[in-house]
Amino acid sequence: MKITDVVSHVLQYDLPHELGYSQQFYTRRTAHLVEVQTDEGPVGWGECFGPGNVALANKAIVEKVIRPMVVGRDPVDREVIWHDVYNALRDHGQKGMPIQALSGVDIALWDLTGKIAGLPLCKLVGGQVRERIPVYGYGMMLRREDPASLASRFKNEATAIKDAGFVAAKMKVGLGARDDVRLVQAVRDGVGDVFRFMVDANHCYTVADALYVGRALDSMGAYWFEEPVAPEDLDGYRELRAKLDTSIAGGEAEFTRWGWRRLFDGRCLDIAQPEVCALGGVSEYLKVVAAAHTHFVPVVNHVWGSAVAVAANLHLLAALPPLPGGLHPTEPMLEFDTTHNLFRDELLEEPLDIAGQVARTDGYAGVPAGPGLGIVPDRGFIARYRIE
């Protein structure tokens, strides 16, 4: 079997209302799917992390740079292809968009390999540790409204996420340290005293402001504090981890085993959050997980994208060994964006229906059945929302 083509599908639609986080507001949802075609019929599907114009830039890298390097090759040669592409692009980008583009191609090659072998991805990468994955609900995005109104909305949304059956909830912050503490208090009030909740800053704080917010999180029992400072500020991560009781999470903006090595060697994280659609695909994700385990750092994947990304992460989380183990290990959770996302809910011929599964099972989702990712995208849907 040989690869005959690599095609990018950039999908986009207008959201019902504007959403935001600490770095920007956005009005459109974007997804960048990668399709690897073969001469014998089977195709593989992957996804590249990156919204809006970033997706268009990644599309150019996929089709103009990576495609000529892989057409004609055996799709099962995933590691060979990965290193050939990385070595060719090393002088032009060891992080960022070239690696995001490579990620989508690599995920598609793993999907193809699973179809060729007749095995689901979770079996292909080592075996299925768990049949179902606990799911946390991610919402409470920023909007252009006064802090008091936003706090009231966050409280109600947090309650709704809990009532929907999710095992935990995650919120955004980014108004400024003092107003953010008020948002956090509203979420704690909304979910009650014992329900797990997490706070995602998207690296908006200085260390001083992160300490101010983090001490409030300590007093309110937050489960983790995500990306409190810039991803480049490893000293800041170390200082926060040393001074706060709340677990420090991060890593979604880090790439490849070499970037992650600095985070682990520096003892920067309590919880690692690799993003498989960005860091280099499944091939590189497995190496990052191995490195995390050598440092005894638990892994909870970062997930943001379409049903392709969700399916890939369900398989990877199903195969993730417990750390450190025992009779009652802490289970990794699937991150589920509860905001409006047609590319997650309507992309597939047979939708994953994560929210429905959560409601029926008190917070859990199953792994897609079938070889590879176990999903089939609806080509009519893709054609309807494809912009490039």
pTM of the predicted structure, to 2 decimals: 0.97
Residue 388 has pLDDT above 90, yes or no: no
Residues 6+ away with beta carbon under 8 Å from 161: 137, 139, 169, 191, 338
pLDDT of residue 328: 87
pLDDT digits over 64-90, tens only?
999 999 999 999 999 999 999 999 999
* Mean pLDDT rounded to a whole number for the chain: 97
- Chain region(s) in the chain for CATH 3.20.20.120: 123-366
Give which of 45, 47, 80, 73 is closest to 370, Cα–Cα: 45
Separation CA 50–CA 316 (nearest Å): 20
CATH fold label, 123-366: TIM Barrel (3.20.20)
- Chain region(s) in the chain for CATH 3.30.390.10: 3-118
- Helix (H, G, I), strand (E, B), or coil: what is residue 171? strand
* Half-sphere exposure at residue 152, Cβ-oriented, CA atoms within 13 angstroms: 4
* Superfamily name with CATH number, domain 3-118: Enolase-like, N-terminal domain (3.30.390.10)
pLDDT digits over 321-367, tens only?
988 888 888 899 999 999 999 999 999 999 999 999 999 999 999 99
Residues pairing with 226 in the sheet: 200, 249
First to last CA, the chain: 28
Residue 56 has pLDDT above 90, yes or no: yes
- Helices H / strands E in the chain, number of each: 16, 11
CA angle 21, 27, 29 (to 5 degrees): 90
Q: What are the backbone angles phi and psi of residue 50, rounded to the nearest 5°?
A: 135, 125
Tokens matching residue 347: 């992309």
pLDDT of residue 335: 98
Active-site annotation, residues:
302
pLDDT digits over 258-299, tens only?
999 999 999 999 999 999 999 999 999 999 999 999 999 999
**Sign of the torsion angle spanned by Cα atoms 236, 239, 207, 336:** positive
Q: Count the neighbouring beta carbons within 10 Å of the beta carbon of residue 209.
A: 17
Residues 6+ away with beta carbon under 8 Å from 266: 234, 237, 238
pLDDT of residue 327: 87
Query: Which residue's structure tokens are 């704080």?
Result: 205
Separation CA 240–CA 238 (nearest Å): 6
